[in-house]
Structure 1
Amino acid sequence: MRALTIDHSAPGHLALNEIPDPKPRPHQALVRIHTFSVNHGEAAFVVPSGEEGTVPGWDAAGVVVRAAADGSGPAPGTRVVTIGPTGAWAELRAVDTEFMGTVPEGAELGAAGALPVAAGSALRALRRLGPILGRRVLVTGASGGVGRFAVQLAARGGAQVVAATSDPANGDALTRLGAHEIVANDALKSIQPVHGVIDVVGGPQLVDAYDTLAPHGTLVAVGHSSGAGEEFPFGALFGDGGRHDRSLTTFFLLDDADGLGADLGWLASLVARGELDPQIGRRDDWSRTGESLAALLAREVAGKAVLDIPLEPAGR
């Protein structure tokens, strides 16, 4: 099969090569990948520092060509959205059946492929906040991949959504996605208290976002796009002065796997019904994956970047 592999001698650290087909374990299905999406973390960390010759990639969608030997998971011919720690940027992928969801008719595979890390993280991080109906929820990095899904899903859950962005020009788009209030990153200290925070930025902005929490509120640290560390000033973690029982929790999607496949299928069903916008900001042939990764790092992509794998040429 063809696959994009880590090659630190190649431009962008990636090369398109012929490699052996994957050999699924009993609990894995073999999936023909049609499309995949790339994430900021892959651009910033996975590809530049990946092991030579490995196939990277977390998010992909395609069609099952061989069902799992243990009888779990979907039958051959089923359209699926998949997630895993590696292997998405290839024509074939062996996927744990607990890490795949069925894509219903009406959901385009490219849209489904944009979902796993970004929408899955947004959904499960919001659950960490507890009930959000009628409560204020702050989303930092709201213009990014995770942030745009968090805004939509929080609004769907009945929250009053406060969207923080570095670019005021994103305000209208975030309002259309469901945000009720737009705030600049450097103005977080001026907003009214919130019940919960979905933070995908980290660094000083996480510190400021934590300070917005009302009593019993929770901040979920989902991403770290700033690349900066956090330093809390003395007193920031005191519980007096109306700041009692506030919490900060870390999050990693692949360590929260129970029921993840069903969640991915549900998210795909929302896309199929037009109730969730996948926010595809860039789409291209997979031969231009390196360009998409560079565009993500330069913050030139509004939402998700999706790459399509063309069918194998005839006669091969």
Structure 2
Amino acid sequence: MLALVADPNAPAGVRPDRVAPPRSRPDQALVEVRHVSMNFGELKHLAGRQPGAVLGYDASGVVVAAAIDGSGPPVGARVVAFGPGAWAQRAAFAIADLAEVPPGVDLAGAAALPMAGMTALRTLRAAGPLLARRVLITGASGGVGRIAVQLARRAGAHVVAAVGSPGRGEGLAELGAHEVVTGLDGIEPVDVVLETVGGAHLVAAWNLLRPGGNLQSIGWVVDEPAVFPPNSIFSPGPARTLHSFGDATAVGPDLAVLVGLVAAGELSPPVGWRGGWERVAEAATELYGRRVAGKVVLDVPVADGAVSVAEG
């Protein structure tokens, strides 16, 4: 079968190649992949991947072999999934890491949800009740940010979406942001921060927290440290807290929540760029250049003997 593999000599470090089909464990379903999505971090850390390794984590498609242990969806079910080796014509996913896609939900849109969606959902959940609280989302034009804006607004928060340039803020008010700002200067104190940039940006966001506030450190797209001046983390009153995020286990129930919200018309998948996976180098260049508002989705070429299932 075909897959996207790591190659340090290829444009963007990725190229299609033929690889052996995956072998499923008893608790895994074999999925014919129709669409995959790319995350900035996956590309940023390609140097650490073994040449020839099948890449990616986000996918949607159709089950072609159900889990041997009897769990999970049957053959023919449309699913969204999260797991290593996703950028391939077929991939094996743990039943705990996939969810059925409701009728009417586009598989391409579903593919944009796994990593970004579960990150936004889990960090907002960890921040506690959001009703009437001020929530700052940095890097709000990205995949995590665009989903977080929608989920925070739905939870009753006053949403402040911070972006790097005015053009990056397009569409965020329509998704639910009450304020769309460029940079962090002049923002009134907030109760919660979802911080996706890192470096000095993280320090500036920390300084915007009210007493008792909570900062969720999600990503680090800049190559610089976060330097806190002496005594800058001191704050009178209730403690401010900073939490890391990295829990990507058993994401299936959260994926079910996300595609359920899409089906109900309460969440719009953040697809900012879509094309065939033969354009992977072009897509990676756009993503690296911060020219994609949301997620990159790649359409996977149909494998021989593919299951015929409607995508809509």
- Please confirm whether the aligned pair reaches a TM-score higher than 0.5, indicating the same fold: yes
- The equivalent residue for 1:41 is 41
Q: Deviations over 1:190-237 (max 9, x none)?
A: 322211110011111111111111121110001111232111011211
How far off its partner does 1:265 sit?
1.5
Pairing of 1:9-28 with structure 2 (within 5 A): 9-28=9-28
Q: Deviations over 1:31-65 (max 9, x none)?
A: 100000001111211x3431111101010000111
How far off its partner does 1:313 sit?
5.7
- 2:198 is aligned with 1:199: no
- The equivalent residue for 2:241 is 247
- The equivalent residue for 1:214 is 210
How far off its partner does 1:168 sit?
1.7
Aligned letter for 1:67?
A: A
Contact 1:108 1:272 survives alignment (8 Å):
no
Contact 2:5 2:55 survives alignment (8 Å):
yes
- The equivalent residue for 1:95 is 93
- The equivalent residue for 1:65 is 64
Contact 2:81 2:98 survives alignment (8 Å):
yes
Contact 1:111 1:271 survives alignment (8 Å):
no
Contact 2:15 2:280 survives alignment (8 Å):
no
Point out where structure 1 has 5 or more consecutive residues left out of the alignment: none
Aligned letter for 1:12?
A: A
Change (3 A) 1:24 1:313: closer
Superposition TM-score, scaled by structure 2 size: 0.94
How far off its partner does 1:5 sit?
1.3
- The equivalent residue for 1:290 is 281
Aligned letter for 2:254?
A: D
Give the whole-Å Cα distance in 1 for the aligned partners of 2:107 and 2:184. 38
Give the whole-Å Cα distance in 1 for the aligned partners of 2:53 and 2:149. 34
- 2:131 is aligned with 1:137: no
How far off its partner does 1:269 sit?
1.9
Match of 1:229 among 222, 225, 232: 225
Equivalenced residue count is 306
- The equivalent residue for 2:310 is none
Superposition TM-score, scaled by structure 1 size: 0.93
Pairing of 1:126-165 with structure 2 (within 5 A): 126-165=124-163
Contact 1:106 1:273 survives alignment (8 Å):
no
How far off its partner does 1:11 sit?
2.6
Give the whole-Å Cα distance in 2 for the aligned partners of 1:149 and 1:227. 25
Question: Which stretch shows the higher mean deviation, 160-169 or 6-15?
Answer: 6-15
Give the whole-Å Cα distance in 1 for the aligned partners of 2:12 and 2:180. 35
Match of 1:107 among 95, 105, 111: 105
What is the RMSD of the two structures over their aligned residues, measured on CA atoms? 1.6
Match of 1:312 among 300, 303, 306: 303
Give the whole-Å Cα distance in 1 for the aligned partners of 2:246 and 2:180. 27
Aligned letter for 1:297?
A: Y
Give the whole-Å Cα distance in 2 for the aligned partners of 1:227 and 1:199. 15
Greater helix share, structure number: 1
How far off its partner does 1:314 sit?
7.9
How far off its partner does 1:172 sit?
4.5
Point out where structure 2 has 5 or more consecutive residues left out of the alignment: 307-312
Q: Deviations over 1:230-277 (max 9, x none)?
A: 11011211132x5x30000100141xx24x201102211222232211
Give the whole-Å Cα distance in 1 for the aligned partners of 2:220 and 2:15. 27
Secondary structure at the counterpart of residue 31 of structure 1: strand
Secondary structure at the counterpart of residue 276 of structure 1: coil
Aligned letter for 2:40?
A: H
